[in-house]
């Protein structure tokens, strides 16, 4: 299962491995690449899909784990968006609050509350992506 801590550990390991080589042994290389927005979005999409599956199966443990994972990913990767706008900031907060609420509702075994939080989270995703594609919300 993907975890922000796992990603951070992988980046640290890559940096440590490349730092261990002296400059005379090999030509200077670029530092390892941090995850780009596309990679992060793919992980967020997989977590969102696992949330839908968990809702359908009423798997509260998976709901809580995936929601917490999405909150962590969202908070840890805010640096990826170089040109933050007010709308982006707003949708990020809505997304994080919705995912946090979803985790709480899953812990409470409240399927209706978790479903509503999932819908709020999904709506914030669509609104944010529409914003960055230059589309207005209706």
With tokens 């922000």, the residue in question is: 4
* Chain center to CA of 73: 3
**Do the domain assignments include residue 17?**
no
Interval 125-137 mean pLDDT: 77
Q: Does the residue 35 lie in any domain?
A: no
Q: Is residue 9 part of a domain?
A: no
In a domain, 60, yes or no: yes
d(CA 129, CA 138): 14
Domain extent for 131: 42-138
pLDDT reported for residue 24: 44
Residue 68's pLDDT band, with cuts at 50, 70 and 90, is: very high
Express each pLDDT in 15-60 by its tens digit.
Answer: 333 333 344 444 455 544 556 777 888 888 899 999 999 999 999 9
- When divided into structural domains, the chain yields a total of 1
Q: Output the domain CATH number for residue 117.
A: 1.20.120.10
What's the mean per-residue pLDDT of the chain?
77
Exposed, middle or buried, 95 (CB in 10 Å: 0-12/13-18/19+)?
buried
Mean pLDDT of the region 7-11: 42
In a domain, 138, yes or no: yes
Could you tell me if residue 72 is inside a domain?
A: yes
- What's 20's DSSP letter? T
Indicate the pTM of the whole model.
0.68
Q: Indicate whether 90 belongs to any domain.
A: yes
Contact 102, 117 (CB under 8 A): yes
Residue 92 contacts residue 69 (beta carbons within 8 Å): no
């Amino acid at each position: 299962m993907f975890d922000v801590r796992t990603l951070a550990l992988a980046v640290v390991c890559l940096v440590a491995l490349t730092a261990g080589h002296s400059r005379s042994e090999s030509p200077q290389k670029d530092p390892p690449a941090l995850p780009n927005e596309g990679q992060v979005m793919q992980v967020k999409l997989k977590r969102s899909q696992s949330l839908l599956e968990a809702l359908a199966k009423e798997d509260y443990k998976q709901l809580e784990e995936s929601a917490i994972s999405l909150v962590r990913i969202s908070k840890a990767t805010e640096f990826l968006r170089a040109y933050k706008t007010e709308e982006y900031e707003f949708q990020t907060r809505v997304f994080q609050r919705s995912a946090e609420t979803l985790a709480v509702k899953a812990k409470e075994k409240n399927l209706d509350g978790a479903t509503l939080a999932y819908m709020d989270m999904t709506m914030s995703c669509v609104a944010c992506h529409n914003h960055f594609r230059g589309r207005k919300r209706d």
